Structure 1
Amino acid sequence: MGGVRTRYNERVASGTLTEDAAQAEAANRLDELALTLAHPPKRTFFGKAPDAPRGLYLWGGVGRGKSMLMDLFFAEAKVSPKRRVHFHEFMAEVQERLDVWRKMGEADRKRSPWRVSGAGDDPIAPVARQVASEARLLCFDEFQVTQIADAMILARLFDAIFANGVTVVATSNRHPDDLYKDGINRGLFLPFIQRLKERCDVFELVSARDYRLDRLVEAPVWYAPLGAGSSAALDLAWTRLTLGAEPQHCVLTVKGRKLEVSREAAGVARFTFEELCARPLGSIDYLTIAATFHTVILEGIPLLTPDRRNEAARFVSLIDALYEARVKLVASAGAEPDRLYPDGDGAFEFQRTASRLFEMRSASYMAEERRSLTES
């Protein structure tokens, strides 16, 4: 029995996880890959480097434990260098690197350690070479394709990444055949799907239970008033909803700007009210968050008054984005929704937001699938 399955069994024995046959089988598959990575095939008699081990594309519904299993695998994989990154963040980095290469002068390109002979002005080959230098194992959380700019380069980018000896492991809510579904010019994206399936085994986590939903409905999702008790409750909610997955840091790119997400795991992002509503963010930022995460934990919503009308307006935009996308919300606040903004300029308009906040606590809302707002 390998390390991933052993760690999984330990969590089941401790009561942290409920035994699940699909999760156990996924752990076995990840152990097989970890063993192959630890003992890669040797060069051939003629000195040709062998292909990198086939990766694994782990997909299934929200709350099935994919990120938790990725945690266990990434910790156990004896390969260096290795990297784990949210797919949205990775593609934003790639687009930035492509732009830097395009703007480089010919002399700088010739001096670059990432230069690929014969690539000419094409930036994809040198960027893929740079990516490969940073990770023999590349693990992606929340693999999804929503931007046409990403879709149009993925086939060539991953051809080059695989050719540079990188093994890819990914978690996703979608089968590869459903990536970028109904997207613009999707026909140009199909070669990427084929290449992904050639280089990664596709494993569906077919667990019938949505453990995230179970944990959402087993405890309140709105904690008031603010204090040590509500903070502790959010800590427990984080652990429940992520199945104990390790928090990651990621950076979302919104119209060329950086939006820091200091804590995210298993499709759950955790923010403070100050992080999201006391800074100059707008609807596009909140829509990006809603498109990236299925659950948001929001800490420290204060009582809102006319002197905080700007923060209140941003909070309204945030809730609108989460509500329309059917993103789940767990929050701590100074009061119940209908008492957050009781008087003064803007209080009347806030009533619609309060109504939505109450609806977002309902069992029917919790059971709804997340909606795509930005996929095109």
Structure 2
Amino acid sequence: METLSDIYRAKVGAGELTSDAAQLSILPALELISQALMAPEPKRGFFRKAVPVDVPKGLYLWGGVGRGKSMLMDMFVDHLDIPGKRRVHFHAFMQEVHAALHEARKTGVDDAIAPVATDIAKGLKVLAFDEMQITDITDAMIVGRLFDKLHEAGVAIVTTSNRVPDDLYKNGLNRNLFLPFIELIKTRLEVVEIISENDYRQNRLKGEQVWFSPVTADTRATMDAIWHDLTGGKSEPLILTVKGREVEIPGFHNGVARASFFDLCGKFLGAGDYLELAQNARVLLLDNVPRLGRTNFNEAKRFVTLVDSLYEAKVRLIASAAAEPEMLYVEGEGSFEFERTASRLREMQDESWGAE
């Protein structure tokens, strides 16, 4: 049977990947989990009791952004020849859990997590989470018990994160209540750091144009091509929860987000929303930035705040716009102040920007 190492080397040979020693070092751990999950179930005699579920030890793969964690996890999930597998972005999964808990509480059940975990675990052998991070007190209180229930149901967990387990929910409210979950991760998952000097998401854009104007059929096609190159055509909405409100980013995959100017600046969003986006995305594709002025002054102010948030977080911005940065906002109240934003937008186009 073809191994993950075979698949990886074939992709390198086909030019789809660049061989990376750090990525290769992770494959044996994923291969062990893969073999355990695909092993035939023990035969049961007619009069014998059911064999207890033996859950393979999962994996917590952490390291810097753009190191290939999500790519390796996708390769692992695609390689698994079993029906009971699921791959989901952690943030999206927690949104599902909150919705399911809300429905379960309507039934008057004492412990809403138990039926929710049971429903999630039905027919499932492995759950692969991308980009685990805990920033919300509600998530922190739920996730430990939920993972415990899933393990009891025989579900193996594989997850990626930018943080070592000890830094999850760092400095969070009532963090002491979250510490048992960190110990649970260390006990039931093998914690492995991927150490690579390469940031592949940023490197794929080095030397490439990232600002396209004016907006034409050609620039739209180019934005679509970049999106496909960075995400492989895979996408799902990302729902951000900010102070009890939900903010939807229409397209998201492996730290790459895509939205229109209207999605982010035409709605009543603010700095907190943009900061949350910047924490979740490494690259943002922003479509259809219009000319700015007195007719869309509020949208222009939001755009300035968005750019500041992306700039401070070193998020790579790829945009299609009506004009070059210096010509976006040339008259009306706020045009003078926009010069700073235009300067930042120009700086963010440099291929070395954000490399640190």
The answer to whether TM tops 0.5 is: yes
Q: Which moved more, 1:189-198 or 1:175-184?
A: 175-184
After superposition, residues 3-18 of structure 1 pair within 5 angstroms as: 3-18=3-18
* Displacement of 1:7: 3.1
Residue 276 of structure 2 corresponds to which residue in structure 1? Answer: 288
Residue 33 of structure 1 corresponds to which residue in structure 2? Answer: 33
Match of 1:266 among 248, 254, 259: 254
CA-based RMSD: 2.6
String of CA shifts for 1:32-79, please: whole Å, max 9, x gaps: 322221225537864242232222222211111111122222222122
Q: Residue 89 of structure 2 contacts residue 129 of structure 2 at CA under 8 Å; is this kept in 1?
A: yes
Cα distance change on mapping 1:75 and 1:51 into 2, 3 Å: same
Q: Which amino acid aligns with 1:140?
A: F
Residue 59 (1) aligns with residue 80 (2):
no
Residue 314 of structure 1 corresponds to which residue in structure 2? Answer: 302
After superposition, residues 1-376 of structure 1 pair within 5 angstroms as: 2-39=2-39, 41-42=41-42, 46-105=49-108, 109=109, 121-133=110-122, 135-238=124-227, 241-242=230-231, 244=232, 246-362=234-350, 365-368=353-356
TM-score, normalised to structure 1, is 0.84
Counterpart of 2:59 in 1: which secondary structure? strand
Counterpart of 2:22 in 1: which secondary structure? helix
Residue 118 of structure 1 corresponds to which residue in structure 2? Answer: none
* Displacement of 1:229: 4.1
Separation in 2, partners of 1:255, 1:100: 21
Separation in 1, partners of 2:272, 2:177: 27
> Percent of aligned positions with the same letter in both sequences?
49
String of CA shifts for 1:265-319, please: whole Å, max 9, x gaps: 2211112223222334333332221121122111221222322223323322322
* Displacement of 1:186: 2.2
* Displacement of 1:208: 2.3
Q: Which amino acid aligns with 1:56?
A: L
Separation in 2, partners of 1:187, 1:266: 30
* Displacement of 1:257: 4.3
Q: Which amino acid aligns with 2:206?
A: V
Residue 371 of structure 1 corresponds to which residue in structure 2? Answer: none
Q: Which amino acid aligns with 2:125?
A: R
Separation in 2, partners of 1:183, 1:207: 29
TM-score, normalised to structure 2, is 0.88
Specify every segment of 5 or more residues in structure 1 that has no aligned partner in the other structure, as ranges: 110-120, 369-376
Separation in 1, partners of 2:2, 2:24: 12
Cα distance change on mapping 1:228 and 1:12 into 2, 3 Å: farther
How many pairs align? 353
Cα distance change on mapping 1:90 and 1:43 into 2, 3 Å: farther
Separation in 1, partners of 2:33, 2:207: 35
Q: Residue 284 of structure 2 contacts residue 318 of structure 2 at CA under 8 Å; is this kept in 1?
A: yes
Counterpart of 1:348 in 2: which secondary structure? coil
* Displacement of 1:166: 1.0
Cα distance change on mapping 1:43 and 1:317 into 2, 3 Å: farther
Counterpart of 2:11 in 1: which secondary structure? helix
